[in-house]
Amino acid sequence: MKDYSPEKLRNIAFVGHGSSGKTSLTAAILFAGGVTSRLTKVDKGNTVTDYDPEEIERKISINSAPCFLEWNDHKVNIIDTPGYSSFLWDTRASLRAVDAAVVLVCGVAGVEVGTEKVWEMMEELGLPRMIVVNKLDRENASFSRAVNEIQQFFGRQAIPVQIPFGEEKNFSGVVDLIKKKAYLFEKDESGKFQEMEVPAELKEEVESRYIELVEMVAETDDKLMEKYFEQGQLSSEELLVGLKKSVIHHQIFPIFAASALMNIGTQMILDGIVDFMPSPLDRGKIKARVQGQENELELSPDRPFAALVFKTISDPYTGRISLMRVFSGKVGPDATVTNTTKDTDEKLGGLFFLQGKEQIPAGQAKAGDIVATAKLKTTLTGDTLCAKGAEIEFEPIKFPEPSISFAIEPKTRADEDKISQATHRITEEDPTIRIERDPETNQLLISGNGELHVRIITEKLKKRYNVDVELKPPKIPYRETIKGRSDVQGKYKKQTGGRGQYGDVKIKMEPLPRGKDFEFEDKIFGGAIPKNFIPSIEKGIQEARKKGILAGYPVVDFKVILYDGSYHEVDSSDIAFKIAASMAFKKGMKEAKPTLLEPIMNVEIYTPEAFMGDIMGALNARRGKVQGMEQKGNMRILKAQVPMAEMLDFEPTLTSITGGRGSFIMEFSHYEEVPAHLQQKIIAEAIKEGRVKPEEE
């Protein structure tokens, strides 16, 4: 492969809501670039970027996958990203590796929740973007409706540079507003097209859309604005230069028209990526810590090597593969580099470009490119690799905390023996998954970003590592607290043959406002308890609060005031006071009106208006409280607060109500008291599971 300088590189992420056609467009682009000899399809399970068995079976992208092609003397690196909310952490990580994005919007469904989420990420990262209205060959597809909705959501600076030729099943080409030429595509999915004059019936729309585009470009530059006011027009070159500049500075988001599945508009999208999207040099300086100081790193092949590892793949044959974006310098395939995040040295296990899962030897990796290496010992996603002595570190990648937990049980003893190594590999690849043993129940818990996420991980355990596990219902992280006050004594006295044990504490317990967790106040006067034992008393309460008296859940939002006690000159010890404090805590809990708290989630539901009534009914049945409603395009956004326990099976309910057109996201908000009738059920379940003994109730 030819050696490309940074100005000839384009690093692009394909982003958008699930099923908007990102993988299909990637397939069409790889076909156009001669990487594949035929148009591969998601339905046939033969695309380059959806190669995981779970992706092929479910026909959705679960992992970000890189690929590349050569087009018009440029190398275009593409990362095909997931669009469903459970996997958007991977999309966010991939956005750190690119210089721009192509946002896909379905011509039928319009702007969906995933579109909004990725847009927010790109705003946060300051990434330029272009928009592709896809699936324009589908029934009920409408380019103009989709454009109106895009502008409602993202502003009038999202503006068409093309319009479609025909609609729905008659969609057969695109009209380029800048060149004022029409491109009519063959119906055989070959991607072949003929250039022709704009049809008479489209000339009026082309002219009005062209004027809108010119005015928008002129608005972004004072000199162009002046010329446009004076002469009433801009030259083609001025328009193109002005458009590229405004796209790079994210003042304009050009909109393209396509059908990825029918391979209509693919070449024009590729031209748009090369012509309008920034090279790594256009990106400007990157924030980094250099020699321990906040700084900015200039992208240059002549500076010290520095790269961000944005994805880790656990390959059954190669082992751990680390994908990295090189931001400066260059590096050879067998170089030794420093992992600044972990403060260790790593020897690279070769360098290669990934074409989906295929590894293509890369030779040297240079500033601006995306490359992979293998068999790094300690490096994980989010780590920085740099030249020894350079001390460069990029900001780590932020990952969401898991929102749901399930218990997993290995089906056989053999599965139990293999599970530790398999889960270690899984968590290397997916930093948002937590797999850990609950010290209270001794259950192995798997936590992820939704039921689908967790189920796919358990399928991976089975198919990739031959570990068969059973999923049990999710564990709700209940908490216990107190509503009243108590004043109690905890006295521990043990006399054996030799030295005894003696600790005596008197404490008051009172509730704290929700979210304040725990406070300890020492009000001992006159040396009733020596100062050196006070930390042990606090420690005893801290340890005891890990397991409450109602159902064995951690205790929160309470204050302990230590006000009196007694000690023995010989027999008192740290351990004795720890035990005495624990005894006092349990007594105090029983007398202070203990109660259970449950996590309440902030839920946002995106739905067409027709289903609002049914969804509100479903939320009411789940003890939900509607907080408000918004309208965006033809979608309604319903905001509510709902107990986590009631949201565990909401996904299939919403799919059933909306016929798959609704979606939702949720995140933790706060804790609230569980209604009394439900508390009894939770306590009974805790006794059944052995979390607490009946007498502790």
What is the average pLDDT value for the chain, to the nearest integer?
A: 92
Cα–Cα distance measured from residue 549 to residue 502, given in angstroms and rounded to the nearest whole number: 24
CA 476 vs. chain centroid, Å, equals: 22
Domain contains 610: yes
DSSP-based three-state secondary structure for 477 = coil
Secondary element (H or E) of residue 294? strand 293-297
Domain contains 444: yes
* Amino acid 95: pLDDT: 97
**What angle do helix axes 222-231 and 200-219 make, rounded to 10 degrees?**
130
**Residue 670 pLDDT > 70, yes or no?**
yes
Output DSSP code: residue 259.
B
Average pLDDT value for residue range 372-379: 95
405: which residues sit within 8 A by CB, 6+ positions away? Answer: 434, 445, 446, 447, 474, 475, 477
Cα–Cα distance measured from residue 159 to residue 466, given in angstroms and rounded to the nearest whole number: 50
Cα–Cα distance measured from residue 441 to residue 173, given in angstroms and rounded to the nearest whole number: 61
Q: Are residues 584 and 505 in the same domain?
A: yes
Domain contains 299: yes
Report residue 36 as tokens: 């594949």
Q: Are residues 377 and 319 in the same domain?
A: yes
In terms of phi and psi (left: phi > 0; alpha: psi -120 to 50; beta: otherwise), the region of 208 is alpha
**What angle do helix axes 266-276 and 236-248 make, rounded to 10 degrees?**
80
Q: Which of 84-93, 490-499, 506-515 shows the lowest mean pLDDT across its residues?
A: 490-499
- To the question of pTM greater than 0.85 for the whole model, the response is no
Q: Are residues 125 and 238 in the same domain?
A: yes
Report residue 501 as tokens: 């044990």
* Amino acid 440: pLDDT: 57
**Residue 633 pLDDT > 70, yes or no?**
no
Domain contains 689: no
Q: Are residues 90 and 177 in the same domain?
A: yes
Cα–Cα distance measured from residue 116 to residue 227, given in angstroms and rounded to the nearest whole number: 36
Which CATH number characterizes residue 566's domain?
A: 3.30.230.10
* Burial category of 70 from C-beta neighbours within 10 Å (exposed 0-12, middle 13-18, buried 19 and up): middle
Cα–Cα distance measured from residue 242 to residue 222, given in angstroms and rounded to the nearest whole number: 11
Domain contains 696: no
Tokens 């198919």 -> residue = 463
Amino acid making up residue 316: P
Secondary element (H or E) of residue 663? strand 663-673
Cα–Cα distance measured from residue 459 to residue 471, given in angstroms and rounded to the nearest whole number: 11
Q: Are residues 319 and 451 in the same domain?
A: no
- Number of domains the chain is built from: 5
Report residue 652 as tokens: 């299939």
Which CATH number characterizes residue 336's domain?
A: 2.40.30.10
Q: Are residues 265 and 157 in the same domain?
A: yes
669: which residues sit within 8 A by CB, 6+ positions away? Answer: 599, 600, 601, 602, 641
Average pLDDT value for residue range 308-325: 90
DSSP-based three-state secondary structure for 427 = helix
Q: Are residues 508 and 458 in the same domain?
A: no
Domain containing residue 674: 596-678
Whether the Cβ atoms of residue 431 and residue 382 lie closer than 8 Å to each other: yes
Q: Are residues 291 and 327 in the same domain?
A: yes
Report residue 556 as tokens: 């929160």
Taking the alpha carbons of 471, 472, 476, 477 in that order, is the dihedral positive or negative? negative
∠239-243-246 over CA atoms, to 5°? 140
Domain contains 405: no
**Residue 295 pLDDT > 70, yes or no?**
yes
Residue 265's closest CA among 363, 144, 165, 356? 165
Structure confidence at residue 425 as a pLDDT band (50, 70, 90): confident
Residue, of 689 and 256, whose pLDDT is higher: 256
Cα–Cα distance measured from residue 604 to residue 607, given in angstroms and rounded to the nearest whole number: 10
**Residues pairing with 635 in the sheet:** 608, 632
Amino acid making up residue 197: E
Q: Are residues 295 and 433 in the same domain?
A: no
Which CATH number characterizes residue 422's domain?
A: 3.30.70.870
* Amino acid 697: pLDDT: 43
Residue 102's closest CA among 93, 115, 112, 90? 115
* Amino acid 634: pLDDT: 67
**Residue 696 pLDDT > 60, yes or no?**
no
